[in-house]
Chain A
Amino acid sequence: MNSLDIILALYAVLGAAITVATCLSKSHKTQNTLSMILPVCYLALTLYILMATQLPAYGLGSDYFLIDHLSIYEILIAATLFLLAAVYSRQYVKDSIFIHEMDESNLRLYYAAFNMLLMAVVYVFLADNLALFWILAELTTAFSAILIVILNAPKNIGAALKYIFITSTCMLFAFIGLILIFTLTEDLIGVGTLNWSMLMSVAGGLSPGIMFAAFIFTFVGFAAKSGIVPFHAWLPTAYSKAPGPISAILSGTVTTIGVYGILRMYTIVAQTAAIGKIQILLIAFGVISMIIAALTMLREPNLKKLIGYSSIEHMGFVLVGLGIGTSVAMFWVVFYFLAHAFTKSSLFLSAGIIKHQYGSVRLEYIKNVFQLQSFAGWSLILGAFSIIGMPVSAIFLAKLGILAQSTLVSPVLTVVLLTVFLFAAAAFGVFMIKMLSRKEDSTADVPYFHVGWGMKIPIAILLAIVFVLGLFFPEQLTTLLNTIVSELGVT
Chain B
Amino acid sequence: MILPTEQLTQILMVMVLATAAIIIMKRDIRSLIKTYAFQSLLVAVMALVFYIETGAVTLLLLAVVFIISKVWIIPHFMGKVQQKLNIKRDIKFHFLSPITALIVSLFILLFVYLAFTPLIAELNRFNSTLFTLGATVGVSIVFMGMIVIFTRKQTLTNVVGYLTMENGVVLFSLFLTELPMLIEILIIIDLIMLTLIATVLAFGIDSTIEEFHARLNPFSREQQTKKPEETTQ
Chains A and B share a contact (CB less than 8 Å) = yes
Residue B225 CB within 8 A of the other chain? yes
A450 to B204, CA, bound (A): 32
Instruction: Kindly list chain A residues whose C-beta atoms are within 8 Å of the C-beta of B230.
Output: 98
B232 x A448 contact (CB < 8 A): yes
A448 x B228 contact (CB < 8 A): yes
Residue A138 CB within 8 A of the other chain? yes
A135 x B122 contact (CB < 8 A): no
Q: Which bucket holds chain A's interface residue count?
A: 35 or more
Instruction: Kindly list chain B residues whose C-beta atoms are within 8 Å of the C-beta of A474.
Output: none
Partner-binding segment picked from B23-31, B74-82, B158-166: B158-166
Residues of A at under 8 Å CB distance from B?
Answer: 95, 98-101, 129, 131-132, 134-135, 138-139, 141-142, 145-146, 149, 151-154, 157-158, 160-161, 164-165, 168-169, 172-173, 175-176, 179-180, 182-184, 186-187, 192, 207, 209-210, 213, 359, 445, 447-450
Instruction: Kindly list chain B residues whose C-beta atoms are within 8 Å of the C-beta of A99.
Output: 223-224, 227
Instruction: Kindly list chain B residues whose C-beta atoms are within 8 Å of the C-beta of A139.
Output: 190, 193
Residue B41 CB within 8 A of the other chain? no
Partner-binding segment picked from B11-19, B32-40, B63-71, B213-221: B213-221
Contact among A153, A168, A179 for B179, CB-based, below 8 A: A179
A161 x B205 contact (CB < 8 A): yes
A186 x B162 contact (CB < 8 A): no
B172 x A179 contact (CB < 8 A): yes
B193 x A142 contact (CB < 8 A): yes
Residue B60 CB within 8 A of the other chain? no
Instruction: Kindly list chain A residues whose C-beta atoms are within 8 Å of the C-beta of B168.
Output: 172
Residue B177 CB within 8 A of the other chain? yes
Instruction: Kindly list chain A residues whose C-beta atoms are within 8 Å of the C-beta of B201.
Output: 145, 149, 157, 160-161, 164
Residue B123 CB within 8 A of the other chain? yes
Residue B2 CB within 8 A of the other chain? no
Instruction: Kindly list chain A residues whose C-beta atoms are within 8 Å of the C-beta of B217.
Output: 152-154
For chain B, the count of residues having a C-beta within 8 Å of the partner chain is 55
A135-B187, A179-B173 are contacts. A142–B197 as well, Cβ < 8 Å? Answer: yes
Name 14 extra pairs, CB < 8 A, besides A98-B227, A168-B162, A172-B166: A99-B223, A135-B190, A141-B194, A154-B205, A161-B155, A164-B198, A164-B201, A169-B162, A176-B138, A179-B169, A183-B123, A447-B227, A447-B231, A449-B231
Residue B100 CB within 8 A of the other chain? no
B162 x A135 contact (CB < 8 A): no
Residue B1 CB within 8 A of the other chain? no
B194 x A176 contact (CB < 8 A): no
A142-B197, A157-B204, A450-B231 are contacts. A182–B177 as well, Cβ < 8 Å? Answer: yes
Scan residues 27-65 of chain B and give those whose CB is less than 8 A from a CB of chain A: none
B228 x A168 contact (CB < 8 A): no
Instruction: Kindly list chain B residues whose C-beta atoms are within 8 Å of the C-beta of A160.
Output: 201
Distance between A98 CB and nearest chain B CB, rounded to angstroms: 6
Residue B118 CB within 8 A of the other chain? yes
B125 x A187 contact (CB < 8 A): yes
A183 x B176 contact (CB < 8 A): yes
Residue B101 CB within 8 A of the other chain? no
Distance between A372 CB and nearest chain B CB, rounded to angstroms: 10
A209 x B198 contact (CB < 8 A): no
Residue B7 CB within 8 A of the other chain? no
B232 x A450 contact (CB < 8 A): yes
List the 4 shortest-distance A-B pairs measured between CB atoms, nearest first: A447-B228, A157-B204, A359-B224, A99-B227
A180 x B176 contact (CB < 8 A): yes
A175 to B191, CA, bound (A): 12
Contact among B194, B219, B223 for A142, CB-based, below 8 A: B194
A153 x B190 contact (CB < 8 A): no
Chain A residue nearest in CB terms to B142: A172
B213 x A154 contact (CB < 8 A): yes
A483 to B39, CA, bound (A): 50
Chain B residue nearest in CB terms to A153: B219
A100-B223, A173-B142 are contacts. A165–B122 as well, Cβ < 8 Å? Answer: no
Chain A residue nearest in CB terms to B187: A135
B219 x A179 contact (CB < 8 A): no
A149-B201, A157-B201 are contacts. A131–B119 as well, Cβ < 8 Å? Answer: no
Distance between B24 CB and nearest chain A CB, rounded to angstroms: 15
A157 to B225, CA, bound (A): 24
Instruction: Kindly list chain A residues whose C-beta atoms are within 8 Å of the C-beta of B3.
Output: none
Instruction: Kindly list chain A residues whose C-beta atoms are within 8 Å of the C-beta of B128.
Output: none
Instruction: Kindly list chain B residues whose C-beta atoms are within 8 Å of the C-beta of A450.
Output: 228, 231-232
Contact among B179, B193, B218 for A182, CB-based, below 8 A: B179
Distance between A480 CB and nearest chain B CB, rounded to angstroms: 32
A186 to B123, CA, bound (A): 10
B122 x A164 contact (CB < 8 A): no
B119 x A213 contact (CB < 8 A): yes
A187-B124, A187-B125, A209-B118 are contacts. A165–B176 as well, Cβ < 8 Å? Answer: no
A449 to B21, CA, bound (A): 55
